[in-house]
Amino acid sequence: MRAFVTGATGTIGRVVTTRLLGAGWSLRVLVQRDSAHPIPANPRIEQQFGTLDDRLLIERMARGANVAIHLAGVLPGAREESLARVNVAGTATVAEACARAGVGRLVFVSSTSVYRDAADPFARGIAEDAPLLTEAVGQMQQYGLSKVEAERRILDLHRSGRLSFVIVRAPVVYGAADGWDDRVMQMVRQRPLITLARLPAAPTLQCVHVEDLAAGIVRAATAPAAANQVLNMAGPEVFSFRDVGARALAPEVASVVRRPAPAVPLKYDIRKAARVAGYAPRPRILNSAAAY
C-alpha cells in the first residue's frame, strides 16, 4: 500500500508517517525545504520538496497512491491571504489531484474550530452534524472558516462522484515533545504551587493526544465504514490547565493539588469515530495511572 502524505514533518505528520511505516506502507511525502524536522532516510519514503501551490507536483505525487492524507496547512493567526491560499486553495489542489489520479481515499485533517459553538468553553455534545461557522470574529474563527471552505471543496468533488474521502475534525493537539502542554509543565516544575494556583481550574479543555489522533487518522484511511464520513477525533476527557500542570509534580505532591476527576460531558462527541473507524483514545490527563 502506498500513501501520499502532505504535512509529513509537522507535529501530527511525524507520528502518522511513523505509524504508516510501521504498518508496512510505502510513503510519498511533500516537504517544505525549510522544515525544522527533516524526513529521515528510508527506502520506503519518496520525498519531494515543494508547496501546495505546485499543482503539477501534487498531481504527480497523487498518481499511484492508494490513500492520500492531507495534513499540511497554516495555523490560527495566519493572515487571511495565507488561509485562503494554503488551507482552502491548497486543499482543493490536493483533492482535485486525488480525484484525477483515482486515489482510493483522501483523509483530510480539519478542525473542530469549524463548529459555530467551538468558541464556547462550556458547550457540550457537539456532534458532526452540529451547525458550522458562517462568519468570523477573531483569528480562531477565521481559521475555522478556512477549514469550512476546505471541507466544502472536498464535499463538492465527492458529490460529483469523483472522490472518496474522510474528514477528521480534531481539536488542539497535545503530547508533542515541544508542545504547549510541555511548556505548562515546565512552568509548574519551576514554581510549583504558585503556578498551579494561577492556572485555570475549570475543566473546559477537550484536546487530543498526538498519538491517539495519529492512530485514528491511520484507521480512517483504511476502515471500510469510515468511507465518506465526517468524524470528530478528540480526547475522551475534559480537563483544565491545572490538570495539565499537576502532571509535572511528583505523585505525592500531585495527589494534594489534584481534584477528583469530575464526570464532565464531552465537548465533542466522538462516538461516531469509535463506531465507524475503531477510534479509541486513552484518558491521559485525569487518569493518573495512564502514560502521558
- Computed over every residue of the chain, the mean pLDDT equals 92
Report which residue type is found at 161. Answer: G
Residue 259: pLDDT band with limits 50, 70, 90: low
Q: In sequence order, which ranges of 23-90 are alpha helices (DSSP H)?
A: 55-62, 80-82
Is residue 209 predicted with pLDDT exceeding 70? Answer: yes
How far is C-alpha 219 from the chain's CA centre? 14
Residue 143: pLDDT band with limits 50, 70, 90: very high
Residue 38: pLDDT band with limits 50, 70, 90: confident
Query: Could you tell me the three cell numbers for 105?
Result: 481515499
| Residue 11 confidence (pLDDT) | 94
Structure letter (DSSP) for residue 132: B
Q: What is the mean pLDDT of residues 111-139?
A: 97
Cα atoms in the Cβ-side hemisphere of radius 13 Å centred on 135: 1
Q: Could you tell me which residue, 35 or 86, shows the higher pLDDT?
A: 86
Whole-structure pTM value: 0.94
Query: Could you tell me the three cell numbers for 188?
Result: 509548574
Q: Could you tell me which residue, 241 or 248, shows the higher pLDDT?
A: 241
Distance CA 244, CA 87 (A): 30
Residue 248: pLDDT band with limits 50, 70, 90: confident
Distance CA 219, CA 18 (A): 14
Label the pairing between strands 2-6 and 67-70.
parallel
In tens, the pLDDT along 231-244 reads 999 999 999 999 89
Say yes or no: domain 2-172+208-232 is CATH 3.40.50.720. Answer: yes
Residue 260: pLDDT band with limits 50, 70, 90: low
Contacts of 197 (CB under 8 A, 6+ apart): none
| Residue 291 confidence (pLDDT) | 47
In tens, the pLDDT along 46-86 reads 999 999 999 999 999 999 999 999 999 999 999 999 999 99
Residue 123: pLDDT band with limits 50, 70, 90: very high
Q: What is the mean pLDDT of residues 119-135?
A: 97
User: Contact at 8 Å (CB) between 5 and 16?
Assistant: yes
Distance CA 72, CA 89 (A): 12
Distance CA 147, CA 7 (A): 16
User: Contact at 8 Å (CB) between 67 and 104?
Assistant: yes
Site of grid cell 474550530 = 113
| Residue 250 confidence (pLDDT) | 59
Contacts of 34 (CB under 8 A, 6+ apart): none
Residue 121: pLDDT band with limits 50, 70, 90: very high
Q: What is the mean pLDDT of residues 239-264?
A: 71
Q: What is the mean pLDDT of residues 4-12?
A: 95
Domain boundaries, the chain: 2-172+208-232, 175-206+236-264
- Largest Cα span, the chain: 59
